[in-house]
A and B are shown apart, each in its own frame.
Chain A
Amino acid sequence: MLWQTLSFDWGVAQVLLWAVAGLMSFYFSFGSGRVWTSIAVGFFLVLLSEVIPQAAPFFPRLDIPQVEAMGYIVSTLAILVMTHGFQEYYVFSRTFEMNGRRRYVYLGVLAVILASVVFILINPVPDRETLKIIRIVGYSNWVFLSLINVDMIRKIHVQVAGSPISRGFIGFLLVFFFFFLWKGSALYLEVYHLDLLAEQYTVRYMVSMWVGNIGNILASLSVGGTFLVLARALR
């Protein structure tokens, strides 16, 4: 089959690249201004959401639907936290006011993750349909919030033009464009059940898969690159 011959296991490469990008962003969150914390933590959560589903099969006790569901939830949480971070930065760039504390961001994210774990555990074991719905909810968030972030980052870039970190925001523009491709493709596949209809819609399925995987790779590369630029500019 064409779609099977063209398929390629991107998983390992993606996890490795996200490991680099995620650790870089998490490291960046320490020692930088408070406003960067949400953004950096959000990108770190992308690493977790990528690692969890990829790593689960290698740990028999973790290869359960609840862990898979948590992977999707953490992924959704990642885009929400990132968006919150960029929103804060946008407010800062317009009002030059910055409030809050770094540890509240860490504790807040941790609290939401723990609450999600409790939610998953106190409810019935998620079946394939439930997992699919959780995925779709996550992808939907990613797609629409990526577009919103592209616009918000463009506005931030206008405000910080000429500053040492302005190139970093161009990097973030690319990052969210790649996120849009990656998560948009995944959403498209899920909504139209193209994974089940791959033989019938081979081209669409293949294009979506390639766009998604390349988007994923480019997103991780651009995230790593962007935080490298930011680290050099701000350290």
Chain B
Amino acid sequence: MILLPRGNPVKEKLNPAKVNLPDALGKLHTGHFTGYLRFETRQGTGILIFHQGKMISALFSADGVHLTGYEAIGRIFSHSVAGNTSLDIYRLSTELAMGIHALLHGDVLYRGQALKLMDIRVLLGSLKEDAITGCLRIYTDDRVALIFYREGKPLGFFHDGSKDLETTADTSMSVAKLPGAKVDVLTTNVADESSLQDLMDAGQLTAIWQLVQAEAARHQKKSESGRAVPGTSSERRKSLLIYLQGVAEQHIGNIGIYLVEKEFDDLVLGSETSLQAFFANLTKAAKLVAGPKKVDVMLGEMRKGIQATLNGR
């Protein structure tokens, strides 16, 4: 779980499975978008950070998995194509985008410290004293606030709904007052903006996209062959019907074909009650055209056939 404030929402709860992601990212690139894309999947969370159209950061984080760069993009594409992924797009200021980028790739000094067990003033004094450049992430289960520091001096506050760093601590501090609030302390090495990498290589993204698509197609095919199990069962049922009709025709003539067909509609394979009803009704009707001995022999053969079908032989 990557904890980031929601910023200024552009789009929320999109289904990326319906989007050509390289094209969509290309539009953000040409539109000089600054902000981040959050891909929430069952398996983990993916973050793509844009800074004036450059994709400066890609991250995919799950339990025990922390991917960056094109690996992260590949994983994000893969989960998006597979479905069950929710995409949120948030606009940020360039400074905040850089701050979040630095935050995501920084080091963790403290993680998950319960605020009620610690003196926040002592912590802030320590950050100042040690001239820490980084971020305090204060969060609960559903709310997050960030406090950015450069060399021990607070730069500003970022919380849900912020477009830029704010100078007032009210909202951020209100998160700290919530029951169960925790704090992470992260240090970052803020790079020069000009030195930032740009992952927006259209050719590379398209290649990853095509690979993912091909993989999804293979998966689909595999799923379909998996779904063919009921189909196979249906085929087996059809084969059984033909077999039973053949047995009936052999013992009681043409009418047996129709009698079996009529009773077979209600037959649930594997259900003993249904099977008994099938044989009872068939016996009753068959005895109008054949003697009990012949009917018994016919039913005996049918039972063997049904048993063989149930055993999958």
Q: Do A and B come from one complex?
A: yes
- Closest B residue by C-beta to A93: B255
Query: Are A233 and B290 in contact, with the CB atoms below 8 A?
Result: yes
Q: How far is the CA of A98 from the CA of B281 in the complex (A)?
A: 11
Q: How far is the CA of A163 from the CA of B285 in the complex (A)?
A: 12
Contact of A96 among B254, B258, B294 (CB under 8 A): B258
Contact A98:B291 (CB < 8 A) given known A159-B255, A163-B252: no
Contact A98:B290 (CB < 8 A) given known A161-B253, A163-B253, A164-B252: no
Contact of A159 among B254, B262, B290 (CB under 8 A): B254
Residues of B within 8 Å of A98, CB to CB, are: 284-285, 288
Query: Are A162 and B254 in contact, with the CB atoms below 8 A?
Result: yes
Q: How far is the CA of A234 from the CA of B252 in the complex (A)?
A: 11
Query: Are A164 and B289 in contact, with the CB atoms below 8 A?
Result: yes
A92 within 8 A of B: yes
B249 within 8 A of A: yes
Interface string of B270-286 (1 = CB under 8 A from A): 00000000000000110
Q: How far is the CA of A159 from the CA of B257 in the complex (A)?
A: 11
- Closest A residue by C-beta to B262: A96
Residues of A within 8 Å of B287, CB to CB, are: 33, 234
Q: Which of A148-174 contact B (CB under 8 A)?
A: 159-166
A-B contact count (CB 8 A): 53
Q: How far is the CA of A1 from the CA of B266 in the complex (A)?
A: 72
Query: Are A96 and B285 in contact, with the CB atoms below 8 A?
Result: yes
Residues of A within 8 Å of B259, CB to CB, are: 96
Interface residues on chain A, number (Cβ under 8 Å)? 20
Residues of A within 8 Å of B258, CB to CB, are: 96
Q: How far is the CA of A166 from the CA of B249 in the complex (A)?
A: 13
B74 within 8 A of A: no
Closest-CB distance, A97 to chain B (whole angstroms): 9
Q: How far is the CA of A98 from the CA of B285 in the complex (A)?
A: 8
Q: How far is the CA of A232 from the CA of B293 in the complex (A)?
A: 11
Residues of A within 8 Å of B254, CB to CB, are: 159-163
Residues of B within 8 Å of A189, CB to CB, are: none
A128 within 8 A of B: no
Query: Are B291 and A233 in contact, with the CB atoms below 8 A?
Result: yes
Q: How far is the CA of A233 from the CA of B254 in the complex (A)?
A: 16
Contact of A235 among B249, B256, B285, B291 (CB under 8 A): B291
Q: How far is the CA of A93 from the CA of B294 in the complex (A)?
A: 19
Residues of A within 8 Å of B255, CB to CB, are: 93, 96, 159-160, 163
Query: Are A163 and B291 in contact, with the CB atoms below 8 A?
Result: no
Query: Are B285 and A165 in contact, with the CB atoms below 8 A?
Result: no
A179 within 8 A of B: no
Contact of B288 among A92, A162, A232, A235 (CB under 8 A): A92
A209 within 8 A of B: no
- Closest B residue by C-beta to A95: B262
Query: Are B253 and A160 in contact, with the CB atoms below 8 A?
Result: yes
Residues of B within 8 Å of A194, CB to CB, are: none
Residues of A within 8 Å of B289, CB to CB, are: 160, 163-165
Q: How far is the CA of A162 from the CA of B252 in the complex (A)?
A: 7
Closest-CB distance, B54 to chain A (whole angstroms): 76
Q: How far is the CA of A76 from the CA of B256 in the complex (A)?
A: 35
A35 within 8 A of B: yes
Sample of 24 A–B contacts (CB below 8 Å): A33-B287, A33-B288, A35-B288, A89-B288, A92-B285, A93-B255, A96-B255, A96-B285, A159-B254, A160-B254, A160-B255, A161-B253, A161-B254, A162-B252, A163-B252, A163-B289, A164-B289, A164-B290, A166-B253, A232-B291, A233-B290, A234-B287, A234-B290, A234-B291
Closest 7 CB pairs of A and B: A162-B253, A163-B253, A33-B288, A163-B289, A164-B290, A234-B291, A163-B252
- A residues at B contact (CB < 8 Å): 33, 35-36, 89, 92-93, 96, 98, 159-166, 232-235
Q: Beyond the given A92-B288, A98-B284, A164-B291, please list 10 additional residue pairs across the A-B interface where CB-CB is below 8 A.
A: A92-B285, A96-B255, A96-B258, A96-B262, A160-B253, A163-B253, A164-B289, A164-B290, A232-B291, A234-B287
